[in-house]
Amino acid sequence: MRRLASLVLACLFGMPFAAHAASLTLYSRLDYAPAVARAFTAKTGIAVRVRRPPPTGLADRIEREGAHPRWALAWFAGTPNAVALDARGLLARHLPVPAGLSPRAAALIPADGSAIPTGLELGGVVLMSKSAPFTPPLHWHGLLAPARRGLTGMADPTTDDAAWGGLASLLATEGWPDGRRFVTALGGAGLHIYATTADTVAALRSGAIQLALVRSAVAFHVASRIDPSLEAVVPAPAVLMPSLIVMPRHMTPALRRAASAFIAFACSPAGQRAALASDDMDSAFWPVNATVPPPPGLPDLAALAPRDPAAVAANPLPAIAWFAREMVGPGL
């Protein structure tokens, strides 16, 4: 009778009972990850432990664990981690594609199916004061205008996993590797480089810089929830930066089923709403589920005509290595 009751519950949740015996460990720095995990557990009964690694520690931790992963899911903003881990053969491939993904989101799934997009942002936008003594830049080249020279700051993508989107946006002016010319010129004009996005926003609010290049979720959240004296500006060209979720290559069948169920939930209307409702630094994103509207205050994504990040740089790792070598330099 007890087994029969368990099977009935499994049918109600829409997955085999074996998955419900599993407990998932999720590595993520996304602020809304715990809220989505709680909603998933409430729906399925599958426990989820969320572990928050340091800003650049997620990929390193996964690489150290190698073929004996202590994690079942990793969830992060941007593509560098997914590309690096997949290249090392650490990720499961051909993941099931969740139902209801928008065409724009589905197009961001890697060819080998090693990562699933769960939310859409713009890699880089400008956060600035509404009372700044100059007009907002309409194009990234506008950062080189005399009135704006030396006033821009951004996070270093080698010390902040999610900062690749800002560099990708700058490179998008000419693509990789040609976009290096513009980034180099911006460095010569006095670009300020900080360790993290939080440091970049703090520098803006302290007056050390007047233009903060940050990902869109941060910019729109800060401007709408933290400091109404600031505004988020989207220079052209806009570049998409998805949040991605991945699974390890080496997993038991029960864990794989449970992890796949979590991914499907994160992309479902209920999962997307749980992430958006958390109202935190990461929650101002465009949903990947076609039935869920974006939060108020975000511009129309289609009107921005954002570029696919793979069209800017198919592999972000050489661009990040170049930035570390030429823009930051040794010992800094």
Of 117, 54, 66, residue with least CA distance to 308: 117
For residue 77, pLDDT beyond 90: yes
Q: What confidence score (pLDDT) does residue 55 get?
A: 74
d(CA 28, CA 263): 13
- The encoded tokens of residue 91 equal 């990720």
Identify the band that residue 11 occupies on the pLDDT scale cut at 50, 70 and 90.
Answer: very low
Give the 3-state DSSP-derived string for the chain, with helices as H, strands as E and coil as C.
Answer: CHHHHHHHHHHHHCCCHHHHCCEEEEEECCCCHHHHHHHHHHHHCCEEEEECCCCCCHHHHHHHHCCCCCCCEEEEECCHHHHHHHHCCCECCCCCCCCCECHHHHCCCCCCCCCEEEEEEECCEEEEECCCCCCCCCEHHHHHCHHHCCCEEEECCCCCHHHHHHHHHHHCCCCCCCCHHHHHHHHHCCCEEECCHHHHHHHHHHCCCCEEEECHHHHHHHHHHHCCCEEEECCECCEEEEEEEECECCCCHHHHHHHHHHHHHHHCHHHHHHHHHCCCCCCCCEECECCCCCCCCCCCHHHHCCECHHHHCCCHHHHHHHHHHHHHCCCC
The whole-number average pLDDT for the span 121-142 is 97
- Domain match, 209 and 322 both: yes
- CA distances to 87, 88, 157 from 321, in Å: 16, 17, 9
Dist CA 30 CA 42 (whole Å): 20
Examine the domain organization and report whether 210 and 94 are in the same domain. no
Whether the pLDDT of residue 12 is over 70: the answer is no
Structure tokens at 3: 């087994």
Encoded tokens for 78: 């941007």
- pLDDT, residue 153, reads 98
Residues 246 and 111 in one domain: yes
User: Mean per-residue pLDDT for 313-331?
Assistant: 91
Which pLDDT does position 1 carry in this prediction? Answer: 35
Contacts (Cβ under 8 Å, ≥6 apart) of 171: 179, 180, 182, 183, 312, 313, 319
Q: Residue 172's domain is classified under what CATH number?
A: 3.40.190.10
Both 293 and 310 in one domain: the answer is: no
- Asked if residue 198 and residue 324 are part of one domain, the reply reads yes
Residue 264's contacts (CB-CB under 8 Å, 6 or more residues apart) are 96, 98, 99
Closest residue by Cα to residue 170 from 307, 32, 315 = 307
Assess whether pLDDT exceeds 60 at residue 16. Answer: no
pTM beyond cutoff 0.85: yes
- The mean pLDDT value for 140-156 works out to 97
Q: Are residues 247 and 236 in the same domain?
A: no
Residue 331: band (very low, low, confident or very high) from pLDDT cuts 50, 70, 90: low
Q: Are residues 159 and 91 in the same domain?
A: no
Question: Do 279 and 225 contact (CB within 8 A), yes or no?
Answer: yes
Our measurement of the distance from residue 143's CA atom to the centroid of its chain's CA atoms, rounded to an integer in Å, reads: 24
Q: Which of 11-20, 54-63, 92-101, 145-154 has the lowest mean pLDDT?
A: 11-20
What is the span of the domain harbouring residue 69?
Answer: 2-120+242-298
Pair (247, 102) in one structural domain = yes
| Overall average pLDDT of the 320-328 stretch | 96
Percent of the chain with pLDDT over 90: 88
- Between 57 and 222, where is the model more confident? 222
Q: Based on the domain organization, do 152 and 272 belong to the same domain?
A: no
Q: Tokens 């958006």, residue?
A: 276
Q: Cβ distance 204 to 210 under 8 Å? A: yes
The pair of structure tokens assigned to 219 is 């910019």
Is residue 332 very low, low, confident or very high in pLDDT (cuts 50, 70, 90)? very low
Q: Note whether 150 and 66 are same-domain residues.
A: no
For residue 14, pLDDT over 70 is answered with: no
Into how many domains does the chain fold?
Answer: 2
Q: What is the pLDDT of residue 84?
A: 94
Comparing 70 with 6, the larger pLDDT belongs to 70
At 191-218, the pLDDT tens digits run: 999 999 999 999 999 999 999 999 999 9
Mean pLDDT of the chain: 92
Output the pLDDT for position 6. Answer: 37
**What is the reported pLDDT for 15?**
43
Domain identity same for 79 and 54: yes
For the cut 90, the answer to whether the pLDDT of residue 9 exceeds it is no
pLDDT at 256: 97
Residue 10 has a pLDDT of 40
What pLDDT is attached to residue 243? 97
**Are 311 and 217 contained in the same domain?**
yes
Q: Give backbone dihedrals phi and psi of 322, rounded to 5 degrees, phi first.
A: -65, -45
